[in-house]
Amino acid sequence: MTEIRKDPFSGSVVIYSPDRENRPDFTGIKRSIELSPENCPFCEGNEDMTPPEISRISDSGSSWKIRVIPNKFPVLNVEEKYNRTDEGVLEKFTGAGAHEIIIETPSHFEDITLRDPDYFKNIFITYRDRIRDLKKDFRLQYIQIFKNHKASAGATISHHHSQLIALPFVPEEVERKLTLLKAFYKKNNISLFSEIISVELAHKKRIVSENNGFIAVAPWYSRTPFQVSIYQKEGYSRFEDVEDGDLKNLSEIFSNVMKKLISALGDIPFNFVLYNLPFTEKDDAGFNWYIEILPAIGGTGGFEAATGTYINTVLPEKAAEILKKF
Ligand SMILES: [Zn+2]
């Protein structure tokens, strides 16, 4: 049974997921498994190796473009009932959640630089539709969609996939961000996102790519070398509200950014995160959904763990200058 414990010093929480002990390696040491297409559960033809499918985008015949499946070793699951207990200042709770895998391609050795934007559009449609579906469960408060690409970015299986974890609480880091954004909106009557987008468009030196609906920038506050953030110019608060036309523009800029990163740096490990407004918030919070692509090439250690402060060796202006050439 999963339990969620609160760190009494910081207010942040740790999710304990003992079911994951049943994974082949119960020590908790994360090791990547290099699989061949014959024994990879995410490959076409091996569908019976995964738990029953939640949804798919079909291709012609019986084949598929994208499959969504429950994680075989979920961090949280929908059966869990809410229950809070404490041992004095040591507080813990349980609650319903979901943990899903989005298999982004039937092919084990996918070269995403060769893919056109439609490939990415299907992935974004899947994210949006899964959020819409899970939103019907009123116990869920926040959904984090993310991707770990390659072992040093946290992936255990190399086949291209992303993950969705739905939480019965709003993470402390998200709350903190929302408090700042709401305060900015209240004071200035404009969202911080709109303000940042106009500053970046005026200065141009951190813009990596731009199209009708979106800008991709190496943000001022880049935590990792070559971090790229993607903002919607006229942004929605919630990713589940974006329309197909928005997703077309998003896919174009995303595909362009991935090609630039891979051309400049090679097939590097990276994390992709999609920040969305918690279900518990009203739309007018001054928040817009956005994406961050964080190359896992800088290396983090004790200093970052202790302080939450990152040391980055590449200025975002330099990163943008390099990426713009590709
Ligand atoms: Zn595979």
- Tens of pLDDT along the chain (326 residues) come to 788 999 999 888 999 887 665 665 556 666 667 789 999 999 999 999 999 999 999 998 789 999 999 998 888 888 888 889 999 999 999 889 999 999 999 999 999 999 999 999 999 999 999 999 999 999 999 999 999 998 888 888 899 999 999 999 999 999 999 999 999 999 999 999 999 999 999 999 999 999 999 999 999 999 999 999 999 999 899 999 999 999 999 999 999 999 999 999 999 999 999 999 999 998 877 999 999 999 999 888 888 888 889 999 999 999 999 999 99
Residues in contact with 151: Cβ distance below 8 Å, sequence separation at least 6, in sequence order: 31, 32, 158, 269
Distance 68 CA to ligand 1 centre (A): 14
What is the rounded CA–CA span in Å between residue 155 and residue 79?
26
Distance 67 CA to ligand 1 centre (A): 12
Distance 152 CA to ligand 1 centre (A): 18
Q: What is the pLDDT of residue 31?
A: 65
Q: What is the pLDDT of residue 325?
A: 95
Radius of gyration of the chain (CA): 20
Distance 58 CA to ligand 1 centre (A): 17
Distance 43 CA to ligand 1 centre (A): 4
Q: What is the pLDDT of residue 285?
A: 75
Distance 102 CA to ligand 1 centre (A): 13
Residue of 301, 297, 317 whose CA lies nearest to 309: 301
Q: What is the pLDDT of residue 284?
A: 75
By the CB criterion, residues less than 5 angstroms from ion ligand 1 are 40, 42-43, 108, 159
Distance 114 CA to ligand 1 centre (A): 18
Distance 123 CA to ligand 1 centre (A): 17
Distance 118 CA to ligand 1 centre (A): 21
Domains of the chain are 3-172 (3.30.428.10), 173-324 (3.30.428.10)
**Tally of helices (H runs) and strands (E runs) in the chain:** 6, 14
Distance 106 CA to ligand 1 centre (A): 7
Dihedral angle of Cα 130, 54, 35, 25, to the nearest 10 degrees: 90
How far is the CA of 289 from the CAs of 144, 185, 233, in angstroms?
Answer: 11, 15, 11
Distance 42 CA to ligand 1 centre (A): 5
